[in-house]
Amino acid sequence: YSMTTYGVTDIQNKPSLIKSMDIAQIIDRRKHTTLGYFISSKYEEQIRPLIEKIDREEKLLKLNKLKEHQDLEFAELGVDDGI
């Protein structure tokens, strides 16, 4: 299976393209960058659990980083207090 690629300008000029898409890569041809991916809502049941899992993992990573940062701050406070 090869993924279809659409430029932003293509979609802006012909919005009806979205109706014909199943899965597509959206790119900015001028900047040569991928902006994201379009996945038809008909795949929502299969994809939703994966998206929720990724969201949970990202939140855990952020919480762990925040905790590490707070631990460092408390360690620095301890040093400042002469502990």
CA atoms within 13 A on the CB side of 67: 6
Q: What percent of the chain has pLDDT over 70?
A: 86
On the question of pLDDT at 83 being above 90, the answer is no
* pLDDT band for position 56 (cuts 50, 70, 90): very high
Q: What is the model's pLDDT at position 3? A: 78
For residue 31, the tally of other CB atoms under 10 A from its CB is 9
Q: What is the pLDDT of residues 25-37, one digit of tens each?
A: 999 999 999 999 9
Helix (H) or strand (E) holding 70: helix 44-80
